[in-house]
Structures are given as C-alpha cells and as structure tokens.
Structure 1
Amino acid sequence: MTAEQIAEWDTELSALTGSLRRLFNRPEPRRVFAQYVEGLLAELPVKNGWTLSERAGHLTPDRMQWLLNGSVWEADRLRDAVRDYVVAHLGDSDASLVIDDTQAQKKGTKSVGVAFQHCGLTGDVRNCQTMVILTYAAGAGHAFIDRRLYLPEEWTGDRERLREAGVPEDVGFATKPELAITMLESALAAGVPFGWVLADAGYGRDRKLRAFFHERTLPYVLAVPADLPLEGPPGKPRLPAVKRADDLLHYAKIRDEWERRSLGEGAKGERLYDWTAFDVTVKDEEPAEGFTHWLVMRRSPHPNRRGKDGQLHREIAYFLVHAPHDTTLTEIITRAGGRWRIEEDNEINKQLVGFAQYQVRKWTPWHRHITACMLATAFLTVQHAALTGPEPEPNDTPQEADHPGKDQVSDESETTG
C-alpha cells in the first residue's frame, strides 16, 4: 500500500468517526471513541484498555474505561450506523445474510453470559461467552452488521446475577435461533437489501426459524441434521420410505447422479465436493407460495471419515433449500459456499481488531466494545472493496438440466426396481 493510500485511509476513518458525533452528547467521549477505533485498527500485539490508552497518549486507561463503562451513548445506535454504513457501500439485492455464533473464552463467573457451554473454536465445552452474529455478504465484500449476546438459562433464571451484570430488566431467555430472528427482523425493518439467508445446522434444525422464512417468503440454504423429518412416498416394496434426510442416501446411490462443483479456494486449496438434490416435502411444513423445498447432499470427493465399522467413508452433509421453483443447482451451491464468509469475518474480527480481547464484564461495555470492533472491520471491508472490486464467486460450471427439482423422490420410486 502506498503512502498516499494510507493517508487517504486516515482521512476516510476520520470522516467515518466524525460522522458518528451524534451518538455522543459531549466532546470528550467523541474524541476518545475515535482514538478507540483507531487503536483497534492499529498494529498492537494485544488490544485492551492499557494498550489502546498508551497508543492514544493517555497516562492511564481511565478514559478508555469510562468510554465503555460510564459515558452516555447507545451501542445499538452505533450498531445501526455500522449496518447502514455497510449497506451504503456494499448493498446489493443479491447479497446473503449469514447467521452463526462465536465464543470468547473467559475465566471466572462474573462476565455477563459466561458459562460452561459448547465452544466452536475448540469443539468441546469451555467456560465462555457466546454471541450470535449476522454477516452481510455481497459481491463487493462482507462484514458483521448485528450481534446478540446469548444468556444461558442459568443466567436468566437468576435476576440478582443479571442486575449485577447490568442486564436490562426486559431481557429474558432466548435461544440462539430466536436471537437470530430478532436480528433478521431488524434487518428487514431497516430495509437491508438481500436475496438469501444462510446458516449452519445449529440454526437449520430449528422449526421456528424455518417457519419465519416461510411466512416471509425468504429463500434460504440451511445446513440440517441427518434426521430432519421428511415425508416421502412409500416406494416399491424393495425401496425404503423416506422419513428423514439420510433415507435419501439410498436413492442417491441408485441414481448415482452426483455433480462435482467447487466452493472456491480454502486454506488447503480448492474446496471440491460432489452434489446431488431431491425435491422433498418437510414434515408438517409448507414452503411459501411459488417456492419449493429441496434436500441437497454434499459428499466429499474422497473417503475422509471413519465410520462405526472402522472403515473410511465419504463425509455427507445435508442442506435444506427453500427457494423459487426455477432456482438452479448452481445457484444453490454458490449460496452454500457463501456461508463461509461469516467464518472469515469472525477470524478477521478476532485476529485484527481484538474482538475477543476485551476486559469488560457487564452488559453495556460488552456491547460497546463488540460494536466498535464491528465498525473497525466494516471500515476495513469497505476500503478493501474500493481497492479490489467485487469478490469472485465460487468457481462452478453450469451443467445441463441444472434444476434440482427435476429429480424427485417420487419419480425415483416409480422407475427403480
């Protein structure tokens, strides 16, 4: 990067933080907020109250701590400003909203929401905080636009503990999918332009979340568990009925019509998978008018998972798709690959701007720090987009007869055996 570009970025950052003056009622927090965001973007080995204060020329961390703990401003207004900034620069009606959650490992029991719970980073149970996050993924770039702190029931059932942590009185228990719904409702109310919603199986398995999409005629690609309830035809006597997602494996083997496509470059090279799709009926769920459900299977190209029999097998992942009838398999695969944008955003936030390095315990400072990090990475994304242009889509090649709806389970059961 040239000196001119660096100077231009400094000017753009000053303009961005200056445009948020309305969030603060006094000059001091305005100045300290600008210094805080600049520090999050600086090359510091650790980003906490002391290091950010030293960079800003403060003798103590008092002013940074006051910005998070005592000054008067609303983190949710900053969140809305981050969302509007991202949409203003990256907005695209074809964009995807991506849902996921992430964790920050913590010690002790005082940090708001901390509990022994599943930690995605380590794959086991750790003492951590969990936040549900929403990424805006467009062709020009991707960034977080919303966040919700998950409070386990051991917290919401202890009103005194909530008061000590500064949790508002009207905050009660909500599942992670319910928190995702509140973020989606907020995006819809704000008129955020997007075309699809993507999420992993932790959200795809939730019937209430799927019903939210059906009621609002929203397309989605959701990873789902193998036991997702389906209603299929009984088939011939020698063919099994379809009652759950993995029952379709039998039909996929008979048909043997897998298409190898790419999800683009990953850390270990091109991410190639085999794909096939079936038109399905989800038990007790109706798609929106003009929409249909597909069950899409993704198979690893080589054996990579050891089964109960001790043999290596190809790993199979399942995706439930809710989309208009004429949606192509190419489009579905491209969308499925887009879910990884949120993983990239999570990594960028944690590695570059101290997303999980905070030293705050209570509700208000937690939201202020996390949202300031979102602003910092949104700024990076917008500046990167201006330099590089639109991101490439996953490298897939359209195939003849590309509509997944052409292969229905009912057709297979009538023509096989």
Structure 2
Amino acid sequence: MDIGCDAFVLAAESMAEAEMAVSSHSDESGSMTEKETLPEAHQAGSTPHPVDHKSHLIGDNLPRDVAHTVKDVAQTDGSIKQYKVITFDNDDSADPKIWSKRKKWIVTLSISVVCFCPAFLSAVVTPGIAAVAVGLRVPAEVALLTVTLFVVGFGVGPLVFSPLMAKNIATLLACRAIDGIAFSVPLANVGGSLSDMWRPEERGVPMAAFSVAPFLGPVLGPVVGGFVVDNVSWRWLYWLQVILSGTIFIGLFFLVPETYAPTILKKRASKLRKSTGDATYVTAQEIDGRTFGERLRVTLLLPLRLLFTEPIVTFLALYAALLYGLLYMFFVSYPIVFTEHKRWSNSKTGLMFIPIAIGMLGGVSITPLINRHYLSMRAKIKGPVPPELRLVPMILSAPLIPVGMFVFAWTSYPHLSWAGPALAGLPLGFGFVILYNAFLN
C-alpha cells in the first residue's frame, strides 16, 4: 500500500541526495524514437544556462517558443550541447497543480472510486464463503482463502475475472490472487496522483476522501454480498465484480487525464520536436544520463531501503498493516458472532457492518477541522515544516481502536444483545480513517 507521508519523501531525498527524486508513479521517461534520438548526456556534467525563455501560450497549442529553460549539457565526447528543457509556465493550463478546483475534485473522486472498487470486491465475497465451501466441496478454511489471497495480492503487485466460471477451488483461488495483484496498481498510484494535483497545504481534505475508500469498500462489501448470496447465488458475487469493475473502468477512461507532470511535459516535447524539427526540445528526464538499470535500482530498492532503515517508515508501515489486518479480521469474526451464534441470515449479518461505515464517514467529516488545525500550526513555523505535524491526530484517534476491540470482545457472547458488538464499530471506523489519513499525508 502506498503510504505517501512527508516523512517518507524527506527520507528519500536525504538518502538519494544527488540522484533524481523518484516519483510515486512508474518512471515513464523511456527512450525516444529513432528519429528523436539525442546524444547520450551525463546529468552531472550539465550546467544551467542563464537564459530563461517563457511563452504566453498555454496548454498543448504549441508555438515554436514555449516555456523552457536553456541548459548546457556535457556530452560523452567532451563537447557541450545546448538543450531547451520544457517546463510549465506560471499560468499553463496543462499543469495539474493549477487545474480548477472543480476539475481536481472530479479527478480526485474518480480515482477514489477506483480505490473503493478493489477494497469492496475483496470483501463482497465473505458472505458466500460457506456457500463456496459447499458448492466446491472444500473445508470452510480453504474457502476463506478467496479473501486472504485477494488481499495478499494487494501487496504483491491482467485483471482476471475467471472466478465466475470456476469449477474447482484451485481455479477460484488462483484467479482471486491474480485479481488482487492487478488491483494493487490503483491502490499504489492514487496517492501519487493526488500529490500531482494538490499542493501540501491543500491536500488534507482530498487525501481524506481517498483514504476512506480502502476502508469503506470492504465494510460495505458484506452488506451487499449478504443480500446477493441469500437471494441469488454465490456465483453472482463474481458477476457483480465484472459489472462494477467494467463500469468504473469506462468512467475512469473518460474522466481522469494524465496527472504526472514529467509525462505531460514529455508528450509536449515530442510534439515540439515533430512540429518544429528542432531536436533540442527535451524534458529533464530525457537528458538524465542514468542507465535504465540505475533507474530501476533506485525505483525498486529505495522503498525497501527506507522500509528497513528509516524507523518512522518502518513503524508506520507496520501500524498500517496491523490496522488493515484488524479490519479484515472482522469479516471472519462477524459471521461467527452473528451468523453462527445468533443464527442470523447472511444479509442481516452484513447490516452489522454499517456502524463501522458510519464511524468512517464521521472521521471524514471532521477532516476539514483537522486540516485547519494543521495549517494553523504550520503558519507558526519558520522554515521547513516537520512532517510529524501530520501525525498529531493519531494521538487522539489511536486509542479508539483498542476501545472498540474491547467492547466488541466483551459483548459478543450469544446471550448478549447485538447492540454491543454492532456499536463497537463506531469508534473502530472513526479511528481507522483518521489514522490512515495521517499515514497518507
């Protein structure tokens, strides 16, 4: 999962030092086509040229003179070549950070729905676990792997919907694992997309809208799944996944443009080279002299290095994993408490997840207040703002998790009212969202 906290960014900068900062997106700079090939350059040998040219034309209606900085770059043969490094102008409508608030929110909500989808699909099958065990003639513990392997796939990495045709448990489990791997992509990239669009002082509320999606999805999954299993069949849980994923994909295709600035600039530079015949229009990534192997080493190894050598990253990652594990634990414990002990139907048991959802929405509702408090503290600090300021809400929200767990444990006996374990979901849902939002920010 992507924990895009400022602490991670600052740690990455201090450890990479002379290396180019690694974005949360995949490196798409690549090599240019044969007609656009540039002489190999070494970034270490480059020196900025004092001239800075700017164009008053914005967007992708490209004139011959666009916003760029002239830079002298040392070549491998010792010569110096001058390049026009494409940049964004101050009022460039192609720059995601100056998009209108309306456009930013459309994109933010769209990609948040994309994150909601895999989280929802991971848990919507839980009411059908017993039916899967009966239908495919396997123990319930094996059927439970339909949830486990999907979630494991989040952390490991072509979307396969073959489970709906599965004739045996092996096919079902294999396809669920592949689904989880595929769905890890939006979960890992959405935080980076939000950072592309929103400045640090603006992103508190947008990040909250995103952070609630991975938690609200699995909570609402059993609510819907219970009614599907009771009224249709467990196989329709997988047809539902096809319908929902397909619909969201179509919406994503039309509503979400590219947000990664280097990719936008790269396309602009390519258009300029083709329209003007001037091969000196480039982006900073295209004159970066590092080899693909060096880029890959930084992209793949730096996150692991930070995970195991930076305590703040290590402990936040472990805590986030614990919270996510606790959330998914309820998908097993709720059926035991309500379906087995109280003899409720799957649909009625699914309704018991609603208090958790209400708590999560309550956490999102106070995010503007949290963001306002953060901005007030930030205004009092001169110089760099410590990323730990984003973690202040954890001080108050962290105790809500054990409180909710104890209430659930003490009131989950068969002879006690359903209200106790159900209401325990309120502090749990509230705490999950506030804590996760602090991690992401």
Instruction: With the length of structure 1 as denominator, give the TM-score of the two structures.
Output: 0.25
Which structure dedicates a bigger proportion of its chain to strand? 1
Higher Cα radius of gyration: 2
TM-score where L is the length of structure 2: 0.24
